[in-house]
């Protein structure tokens, strides 16, 4: 399937790096209006102390207000396992519709069972304002955008192309970072390879924006590259690496990785569109930690 990319439309992209989770959030402005989208926001959490705050989100909110922008979309590229979404907080302050890939329902079903959420937890994606299908077209102001289903890291991963800029979530890292793991429930290395090929089939000049950067070999943090650079130099898939080679490497590598430190709270909150658990009778909110049979 060929996806429309408008290389002549060049949105202003402002990145916000969160050093606690190595996440980059974005404000993406339509060049023809004051409309914007916010991609992959972060809510701060002190996991050991059981405290949340909104320093990162407040920085984004302050920027949007200072630039006189109107938020039309809050985009989640996938259900993140390494940070909590601040989308509901930002939506309350600035408005906008919250969107994610339609396969959020697969993630909700999987982790609804793991966390024993019961029948109150709706597994139909209704917590979000829009569920995107592969190839869906939507707009930010006058800028046409397209959602591309790029599963493999998770079933619900989407790449969002806005003008000449594509936001790839965890489908790709910078060329010297390679690709994300594919061993979470519903992930698959072969599927991830196929999804990466969708991204690399976009025009060479397409700007690519990462959701994470871990500064390989001690370089400075970076989050922007191009399709052409990834196709040539990505250490996992660049230069035409075969699918079999990628799957072998990714599978062996993933077997050595520990779980993200925030995976337990992140999944419980993010599969519910960033909503925190309801307070219990003592006014406190609680997150569950699943423990297997002894």
**Structural domain boundaries in the chain:** 12-270
The pTM of the full predicted model, rounded to 2 decimals, is 0.96
Confidence (pLDDT) at 293: 58
Confidence (pLDDT) at 70: 98
Could you identify the residue written with the tokens 């890291």?
153
* Cβ pair 65, 193 in contact under 8 A: no
| Range in 4-8, 29-33, 56-60, 226-230 the model is least confident about | 4-8
Q: Which two tokens stand for residue 186?
A: 């519903």
Confidence (pLDDT) at 15: 98
- Cα 289–291–294 angle (5° rounding)? 160
User: CB-based contacts of 201: which residues, under 8 Å, 6+ apart?
Assistant: none
CATH of 12-270, one of 3.40.630.30, 3.40.50.2300, 3.60.15.10, 3.40.50.300: 3.60.15.10
Whole-number mean pLDDT of the chain? Answer: 96
Q: Which two tokens stand for residue 263?
A: 């995976």
Convert the pLDDT of each residue in 165-183 to its tens digit.
Answer: 999 999 999 999 999 999 9
Please tell me the number of Cα atoms within 13 Å of 191 on its side-chain side: 17
């Amino acid at each position: 399937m060929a996806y429309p990319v408008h290389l002549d439309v060049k949105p202003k992209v402002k990145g916000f790096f969160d050093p606690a989770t190595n996440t980059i959030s974005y404000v993406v402005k339509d060049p023809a209006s004051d409309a914007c989208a916010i991609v992959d926001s972060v809510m701060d959490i002190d996991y050991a102390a059981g405290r949340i705050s909104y320093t990162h989100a407040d920085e984004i909110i302050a920027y949007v207000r200072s630039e006189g922008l109107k938020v039309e979309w809050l985009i989640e590229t996938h259900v993140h396992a390494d940070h909590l979404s601040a989308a509901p907080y930002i939506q309350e302050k600035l408005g906008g519709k919250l969107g994610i890939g339609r396969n959020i329902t697969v993630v909700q079903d999987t982790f609804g069972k793991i966390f024993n959420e019961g029948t109150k937890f709706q597994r139909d994606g209704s917590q979000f304002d829009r569920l995107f299908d592969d190839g869906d077209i939507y707009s930010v102001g006058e800028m046409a955008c397209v959602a591309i289903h790029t599963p493999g890291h998770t079933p619900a991963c989407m790449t969002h192309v806005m003008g000449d800029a594509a936001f790839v979530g965890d489908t790709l890292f910078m060329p010297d970072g390679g690709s994300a793991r594919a061993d979470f429930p519903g992930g698959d290395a072969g599927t991830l390879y196929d999804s990466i090929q969708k991204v690399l089939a976009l025009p060479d000049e397409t700007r690519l924006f990462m959701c994470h950067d871990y500064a390989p070999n001690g370089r400075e943090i970076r989050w922007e590259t191009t399709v052409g650079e990834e196709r040539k130099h990505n250490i996992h898939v660049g230069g035409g690496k075969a699918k079999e080679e990628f799957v072998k490497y990714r599978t062996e590598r993933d077997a050595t990785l520990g779980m993200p430190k925030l995976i337990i709270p992140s999944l419980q909150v993010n599969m519910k569109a960033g909503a925190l658990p309801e307070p219990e009778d003592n006014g406190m909110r609680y997150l569950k930690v699943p423990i297997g049979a002894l």
